[in-house]
Amino acid sequence: MTVAVINAHMRPTLEGRLPEGVDPLWFKDVEQLLALAPRAEVAWLDMIAPQHAREAIGRMTGLRWYNAMSSGVDWLPLDLLRERGVRLTNGAGIHAQAVSEFVLMGMLTMAKGWRQVVRAQDRHEWLRQPPGTRELLDAQVLVIGAGEIGSRIAELLRAFGSQVTTARRHPGPGELGQDEWLGALGRFDWVVLIVPSTPQTTGMFGAEAFAAMKPGATLLNFARGTVVDQDALLAAIDSGHLGGAFLDVTTPEPLPQDHPLWSRENVHISMHLAGRAQDALLARGAARFLDNLERYRRGAELVHQVDLAAGY
């Protein structure tokens, strides 16, 4: 019998669909979770605070597979999971459509000056001229991080007629490698960051990268706040070199109310909402979990398994 410790939020979606031989232990709060943790062979703890998940995992000495619905897994104790031989799967691809739509929304919001349109409506003021006239047609866009989300972003942007270049650690034909994108930044009107959060990507976009960007270009960060040097970002904004930034992620989160990023007119902050802005999140997560649970019971390879050494 496989004992699976699962957040009770998922019970209505999963109950009656679990394969034979699985004994689900549902927890409703942290106290229940910590009490059940030592019995877990499989765990799916999403929708609790990261620190409570880490504490519970520390008690799961018999854990063999941990399922996460998030794409990023930097908040998990990867060293401990690797040391104990635990397999980790993530939600890579589950968030691709929602995040891609947020990227498009962010680009169109800034290109058309939508913030000014909304404010005019709030004032009951009829604008005579559009506050923004840029188009995505023929815009030069660089997407750094060409996994499932980055690939979907590129696909949707190409449908708008944008000229999209992707960059990744191991580039394919027509893509830029990790040692090439920095030198090419001056070509692009828009730069989208969607890289995994690892020690190698921490601070990867700093003063040198901002200086290399095309004057007036826009940065969109949908990776992690730690990927961008925020002091360098503010300097690039305040100098006028950077045209603007759309930030779904910041450091820290939540961003303090007195942080200067809030007050910059050409900075938009979407509060790490992109991946969760979808009606189908739990259904997609449940489908991924059930498929992998069947595989686990058969001893088959799990899909979307994380390389614990690489961190993604």
Query: Would you say 21 and 299 are in contact if contact means Cβ atoms under 8 Å apart?
Result: no
- Spatial neighbors of 153 by CB under 8 A, at least 6 apart, are 99, 100, 103, 104, 143, 192, 194
CATH class of 2-93+279-298: alpha beta
> Would you name the residues annotated as active-site residues?
224, 253, 272
DSSP secondary structure letters along 78-143:
HHHHHHHT-EEE--TTTTHHHHHHHHHHHHHHHHTTHHHHHHHHHTT---SS-S----STT-EEEE
Structure tokens at 164: 């999209």
Q: Residue 109 and residue 190: Cα distance in Å, rounded?
A: 13
In this prediction, residue 285 carries a pLDDT of 95
Query: Would you say 223 and 251 are in contact if contact means Cβ atoms under 8 Å apart?
Result: no
In this prediction, residue 10 carries a pLDDT of 96
The domain limits of the chain are 2-93+279-298, 96-276
CATH superfamily of 96-276: NAD(P)-binding Rossmann-like Domain (3.40.50.720)
pTM for the predicted model, two decimal places: 0.91
| Angle at 289 (CA atoms; ends 12, 9), nearest 5 degrees | 30
Identical fold for domains 2-93+279-298 and 96-276, yes or no, is: yes
Q: Residue 41 and residue 25: Cα distance in Å, rounded?
A: 11
Query: Would you say 50 and 61 are in contact if contact means Cβ atoms under 8 Å apart?
Result: no
Rg (CA), the chain: 21
In this prediction, residue 112 carries a pLDDT of 98
In this prediction, residue 19 carries a pLDDT of 94
Going from the first residue of the chain to its last (312 residues), give the mean pLDDT of each consecutive group of 10, the final group possibly shorter.
97 95 97 98 96 98 97 94 97 95 98 98 98 98 96 98 96 95 98 94 97 98 97 98 98 97 98 94 95 97 95 90
Structure tokens at 212: 């290399």
